[in-house]
Structure 1
Amino acid sequence: MSQTSGRDGREASETNDNLSPAPITAMLSSRLMVLANLLKRGAILRYKRLAGLSSVEFGLVASLGRRPPMSVARLAEAVGQDKGQISRALAELVSRKLIAKSANPKDSREVLVSLTQAGLAAHDAIVEGAQERNRMLLAQLSHDELDTLLKQIERLTATAEAMLEAEKVSR
């Protein structure tokens, strides 16, 4: 019986099914989700430390960015959540004077949101933190490796989009 060293450094028997990864964990999609979740968790901690923002709040601030005011509906679409899901976060950001609300001059029934000066400062901290994290990731790859990786991600993304559309049709 051979021994292998696990991620935590402890030895595990290759024949012990309880310690072997389930086949799904070896799949590319699972590995990419683990990577994405690790990056997201690190980002959430960083943006909480840098700007005092929760994950939903930093998503809203990042989406608003240095753009013209946008409707709450458009913002909800940009972050992939419905208006109800973001309303509490918007209220909190307004109370902290990071976001300003105003009526749309073209349609007074529509509310527009934009970053205040304090919101712009939080946005800039997010961007700076994201750039630093990106530099740390890219430092692991040569120029050619990065180019290859980005091309492969584009191909995989296109395939994943097609798979999603096929699932939507199959409902």
Structure 2
Amino acid sequence: MARKKAGASVDRPSFRNLMTFRLHMVARFSEGISEEYYRRHLGLSLPECRVIGITASYGSVSFKQVAADAHLEKSYASRVVSSLVERGIIEKQANPSDSRSVLLQLTDHGKTVHEQTYALALRLNEVLQMPFTRKQGDDFLAFLGQLDQQLKRVSGVVEDVDALGKVPRIESAPAPETRSDGAMMLDRAFAQKLHDMLGRYLAENP
């Protein structure tokens, strides 16, 4: 029986090869890029942009719903909303169905900020998808839709290892939305920095 040569590489189990680990690392890296991107162009944090986008999608929405959709702790979400109110981007209105709560909606200035934010988001998505074909992008969005559904199913039984094996697979997911072109260009320096950061990440995570 042949022995392995001294110093030969040995495949060892590693968290780095697991989908959950890679997903977390990519998500953190993506959030870091987005945070710098929106602060550079609009002076807004990523959570502030999320709250603006969520509020715009509803038109008028409760604070509780915004916090839940943005996956923010209520105390932190409250600070984010207060900051946007102080800047005249969001305003609070009385909730006719619940006197103990308020409804949030964008001001006229907030609607302009949302348009700028959305244009920037489209452009950033366009840049990140440049290395991939249209089909690869659509397949990835479909996969994310399936993964989102599976995570929601798993979340109810995650404390029970045996029950995890009984969570059904998702066989299909809604078709991804058609992408549109962004109306705002990245400045050359930031685009180069984004390219370099992505290059380093892919080199370190083959």
Q: TM-score, structure 1 length as denominator?
A: 0.75
Where has structure 1 moved over 4 Å in runs of 4 or more? none
Q: Distance in 1 between matches of 2:86 and 2:121?
A: 25
Partner of 1:129: 120
Q: Measure, in 2, the Cα distance between the counterparts of 1:71 and 1:21.
A: 49
Q: Assess, with a 3 A threshold, how the Cα gap between structure 1 residues 27 and 87 changes in structure 2: closer, same or farther.
A: same
Contact preservation (8 Å) 1:66, 1:120: no
Q: Among residues 74, 89, 93, which one is paired with 1:98 in the alignment?
A: 89
Larger relative strand fraction: 1
Distance 1:71 1:21, change over 3 A: farther
Deviation at 1:115, TM superposition (A): 1.1
Question: SS of the counterpart of 1:139?
Answer: coil
Matched pairs, number: 156
Is 1:149–2:163 an aligned residue pair?
Answer: no
Identity of aligned residues (%): 24
Q: 1:50 corresponds to which residue? A: 41
The Cα of 1:163 is off from its aligned counterpart by 2.6
Task: Between 148-157 and 130-139, report the one with greater CA deviation.
Answer: 148-157
Select which of 112, 131, 150 maps to 2:103: 112
Instruction: Label 1:140 to 1:21 Cα distance change in 2 as closer, same or farther (>3 A).
Output: farther
Residue 155 of structure 2: aligned partner? 164
- Given candidates 64, 74, 81, the residue that maps to 2:65 is 74
TM-score by length of 2: 0.64
Aligned to 1:23: 14
Unaligned runs of 5+ in 1: 1-12
